[in-house]
């Protein structure tokens, strides 16, 4: 047996045997420990502008800071970090607060400590306070102007305040995080060793998309240096999302046997509805939590963009991992409800879930036509169109969910009416824009119970694209997270890992856009959708078939059946709208063909002809087509599919 490490003593982990380490050092084996998520993201969500000094909120708005800590503790976090990421003299000086370093750090520890004591009284669970230390935000000499000695002094001043009073009064441990330079990191470690050597020290760097620190140091070398400097655990936080952090952790594991810490961002922020938000879903982050544990991570949490919902999902995932693998014991907060054993069911085979699923499974060519819900209560035209298409032999009807953020009859209502009155199967478009995760689960369980079996999982257009730009958006999850929710419902589980009594039995599809300008991001997200559980894909309308061919080549490593979107143009103006307003790639030859016709009838006929040519060209490359019916012209869609040659 060997002596316990400082971290093992802190978390009450029993002594463990040393395992074959060449250097003879202690192997600090520990079960996973759940940490909290972002503070700044939560403050921003409460209307605190980003030009404020968030560390000063410890003094001016203590109740807000305490409420965030409590939310993370209630979500299951075992470690909460003090709101002191930027509470060093260098960063505070920018706000005229250089003389308040000790005050703001002491206040940050006090608020976190009060939150831990409050949750301990209510839930009888232990949690620990980590003093958070971020980078100084300046470059050290010789690359920058700050002398190394001044950097050491700045870190020392902050850490002294965080550790004041010792564990149980001051911080229980220290987390130095988001470090971009190993030279600066060394000064932070030296300062911690000088004034708080008794406290466990976790140090995390941030990395670029290649997995290297921002000063060029490789993840492997960073791990070796931090191990040599005597930290108690090391790892990676922030960065551009879970996948990048996972890669860094895997590389670090090969260079150290110290416990590893992983706290990724919720992806990269995107502008949605005029705000910068992070679209990585709690479910997606949770899926990576399991991978991080398998890669050797002990401390799991979140950074920018993560919320208590993310931490709650990670906690559920880690406990599910424990149940499935039987290999780890998750160190997390006590439940507010009794513990349960998860029950899962196997969903029916794809071929048994729906007609579309059976065709996908058999490799048959699927024909879909899109019918957009009406803006009012009368859907007789849409029902009649579905009946016509059903008689002609179309396989299923695709029903969009408030396309371009327009107020229309619900897609679910129209799907039900079409299926019940006409007998043709539908594919329900379902977006995350308007629903929180509670509504999503309720909608989907209800949809399954009334016979809707095909789901197209979408993030949804921001409200600013529609006629009501001031409408609020939810975006609790994005399309990737929605796929994961549907997959779990198919396994008989809600997001809390509770049984729903059976499988929803959905076929799961996702969207793809081969013509999007940022194709690298589109390919990456498509891969994530497939990993989350997508079973086939439907593309946006494609006019430039070269883009579709390139897209299909790019996804060969994670290919699922693809149904190509085809839109029969109705006029030159329609083509110009697609090209200029919707930014759809439109080859010059198509524009020329639409410009050469002179009458409305000839324009529609030319649009159908172009669409039929595209269908003939892609037929051998995809497993089906979805034909849009522009302006409700269902006969035109049928003509594209070759079901009729008659006039509209």
Per-residue pLDDT tens digits for 211-254? 899 899 999 999 999 999 999 999 999 888 888 999 999 999 99
Could you tell me if residue 630 is inside a domain?
yes
Residues 268 and 156 in one domain: yes
Residues 76 and 198 in one domain: yes
Q: Of all residues in the chain, what percent carry a pLDDT higher than 90?
A: 65
Residues 394 and 289 in one domain: no
Residue 115 CB-density burial (10 A; 0-12 exposed, 13-18 middle, 19+ buried) = buried
Lowest mean pLDDT among 122-136, 151-165, 537-551: 122-136
Note the pLDDT tens digit of each residue in 155-174: 999 999 999 988 889 999 99
Measured at the CA of 554, the angle between CA 551 and CA 280, to 5 degrees, comes to: 90
Residues near 454 by beta carbon (within 8 Å), at least 6 away in sequence: 354, 356, 357, 396, 425, 426, 427, 428, 506, 507, 509
Residues 278 and 390 in one domain: no
Residue 121: predicted pLDDT = 75
Average pLDDT over all residues of the chain: 87
In terms of Cα–Cα distance, which of 289, 299, 263 is closest to 79?
A: 299
CB 133, CB 159: distance < 8 Å: yes
Q: Is the dihedral of CA 597, 601, 604, 610 positive or negative?
A: negative
Instruction: Output phi, psi for 425, to 5 deg.
Output: -70, 150
Residues 369 and 419 in one domain: yes
Residue 210: predicted pLDDT = 85
Note the pLDDT tens digit of each residue in 342-379: 456 899 999 999 999 999 999 999 999 999 999 999 99
End residue of a domain, out of 291, 325, 359? 325
pLDDT band, very low/low/confident/very high, at 28 (cuts 50, 70, 90): very low
E-strand stretches of 28-165 = 33-34, 79-81, 128-133
**Pairwise CA distance, residues 55 & 454, whole Å:** 48
Mean pLDDT of 291-310: 92
Residue 466: predicted pLDDT = 63
Mean pLDDT of 142-162: 95
CB 455, CB 428: distance < 8 Å: yes
Q: Of all residues in the chain, what percent carry a pLDDT higher than 70?
A: 88
**Pairwise CA distance, residues 600 & 621, whole Å:** 32
Mean pLDDT of 319-345: 49
Residues 384 and 268 in one domain: no
For residue 427 the two structure tokens come to 């594919």
Residues 381 and 447 in one domain: yes
Could you tell me if residue 202 is inside a domain?
yes
Residues 184 and 283 in one domain: yes
Could you tell me if residue 436 is inside a domain?
yes
CB 27, CB 1: distance < 8 Å: no
End residue of a domain, out of 325, 360, 395? 325
Residue 380: predicted pLDDT = 95
Q: What is the CATH number of the domain that holds 461?
A: 3.20.20.220
**Selected residue with higher pLDDT from 593 and 143:** 593
Could you tell me if residue 317 is inside a domain?
yes
In angstroms, how far is CA 426 from the centroid of its own chain?
Answer: 28
End residue of a domain, out of 281, 309, 325? 325
3-class SS of residue 289: helix
pLDDT of residue 337 exceeding 80, the answer is no
Contacts 24+ apart (CB under 8 A), 619-622: 619/365, 621/548, 621/549, 621/552, 621/564, 622/548, 622/552, 622/561, 622/562, 622/563, 622/564
Residue 204's CB is within 10 A of a number of other CB atoms, namely 30
pLDDT band, very low/low/confident/very high, at 14 (cuts 50, 70, 90): low
pLDDT band, very low/low/confident/very high, at 518 (cuts 50, 70, 90): confident
Q: Give how many domains the chain has, as a whole number.
A: 2
Residues 129 and 232 in one domain: yes
Q: b or e along 466-482 (b: 16 or more beta carbons within 10 Å of the residue's beta carbon)?
A: eeeeeeebebbbbbbbb
Residues 171 and 217 in one domain: yes
Domain with 280, as residue range(s), is 23-325
pLDDT of residue 82 exceeding 90, the answer is yes
Residues 266 and 415 in one domain: no
Residues 262 and 385 in one domain: no
pLDDT of residue 341 exceeding 60, the answer is no
Residue 351's CB is within 10 A of a number of other CB atoms, namely 14
Q: What is the CATH number of the domain that holds 59?
A: 3.20.20.330
CB 24, CB 253: distance < 8 Å: no
CB 163, CB 131: distance < 8 Å: yes
**Pairwise CA distance, residues 432 & 429, whole Å:** 10
For residue 238 the two structure tokens come to 């922030």
Residue 498: predicted pLDDT = 84
């Amino acid at each position: 047996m060997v002596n316990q490490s400082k971290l093992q003593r802190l978390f009450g982990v029993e002594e463990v045997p040393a395992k074959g380490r060449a250097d003879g050092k202690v192997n600090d084996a520990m079960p996973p420990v759940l940490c909290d998520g972002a503070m700044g993201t939560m403050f921003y969500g409460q209307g605190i502008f980003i030009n404020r000094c968030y560390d000063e909120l410890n003094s001016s708005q203590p109740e807000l800071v305490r409420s965030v800590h409590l939310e993370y503790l209630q979500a299951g976090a075992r470690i909460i970090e003090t709101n002191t990421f930027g509470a060093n003299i260098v960063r505070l000086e920018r706000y005229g607060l250089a003389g308040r370093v000790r005050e703001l750090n002491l206040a940050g520890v006090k608020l976190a400590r009060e939150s831990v004591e409050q949750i301990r009284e209510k839930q009888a669970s232990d949690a620990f306070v980590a003093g958070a230390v971020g980078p100084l935000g300046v470059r050290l000499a010789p690359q920058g102007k700050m002398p190394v000695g001044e950097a050491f002094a700045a870190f020392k001043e902050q850490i002294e305040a965080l550790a004041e009073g010792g564990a149980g009064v001051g911080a229980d441990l220290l987390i130095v995080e988001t470090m971009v330079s190993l030279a600066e990191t060394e000064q932070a470690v030296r300062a911690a060793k000088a004034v708080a050597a008794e406290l466990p020290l976790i140090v995390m760097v941030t990395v670029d998309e290649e997995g290297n620190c921002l000063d060029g140091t490789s993840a492997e070398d960073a791990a070796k240096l931090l191990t040599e400097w005597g930290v108690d655990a090391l790892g990676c936080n922030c960065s551009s999302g879970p996948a990048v952090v996972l890669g860094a952790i895997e590389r670090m594991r090969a260079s150290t046997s110290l416990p590893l810490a992983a706290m990724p961002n919720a992806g990269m922020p995107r502008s949605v509805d005029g705000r910068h938000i992070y679209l990585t879903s709690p479910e997606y982050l949770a899926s990576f939590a399991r991978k991080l544990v398998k890669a050797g991570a002990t401390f799991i949490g979140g950074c920018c963009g993560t919320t208590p919902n993310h931490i709650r999902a990670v906690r559920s995932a880690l406990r599910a991992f424990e149940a499935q693998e039987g290999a780890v014991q998750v160190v997390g907060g006590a439940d507010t409800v009794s513990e349960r054993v998860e029950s899962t069911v196997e969903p029916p085979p794809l071929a048994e879930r729906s007609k579309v699923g059976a065709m996908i499974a058999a490799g048959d060519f699927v024909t879909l036509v899109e019918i957009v819900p009406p803006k009012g209560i009368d859907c007789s035209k849409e029902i009649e169109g579905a009946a016509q298409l059903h008689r002609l032999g179309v396989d299923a009807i695709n029903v969009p969910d408030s396309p371009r953020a327009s107020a229309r009859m619900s897609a679910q209502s129209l799907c039900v009416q079409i299926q019940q009155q006409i007998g043709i199967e539908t594919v329900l478009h379902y977006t995350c824009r308007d629903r929180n995760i509670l509504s999503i689960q309720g909608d989907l369980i209800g949809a399954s119970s009334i016979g809707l079996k095909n789901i197209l999982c979408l993030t949804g257009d921001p409200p600013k694209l529609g006629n009501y730009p001031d409408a609020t958006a939810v975006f609790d999850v994005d399309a990737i997270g929605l796929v994961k929710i549907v997959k779990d419902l198919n396994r008989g589980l809600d997001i809390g890992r509770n049984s729903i009594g059976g499988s929803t039995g959905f076929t799961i599809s996702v969207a793809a856009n081969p013509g999007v300008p940022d194709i690298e991001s589109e390919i990456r997200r498509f891969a994530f959708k497939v990993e989350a559980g997508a079973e086939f894909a439907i593309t946006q309308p494609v006019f430039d078939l070269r883009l579709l061919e390139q897209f299909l080549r790019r996804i060969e490593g994670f290919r699922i059946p693809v149904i190509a979107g085809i839109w029969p143009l109705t006029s030159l103006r329609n083509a110009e709208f697609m090209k200029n307003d919707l930014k759809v790639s439109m080859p010059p030859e198509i524009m020329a063909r639409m410009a050469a016709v002179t009458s409305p009838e000839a324009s529609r006929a030319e649009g159908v002809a172009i669409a039929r040519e595209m269908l003939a060209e892609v037929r051998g490359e995809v497993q089906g087509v979805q034909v849009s019916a522009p302006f409700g012209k269902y006969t035109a869609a049928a003509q594209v599919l070759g079901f009729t040659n008659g006039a509209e």
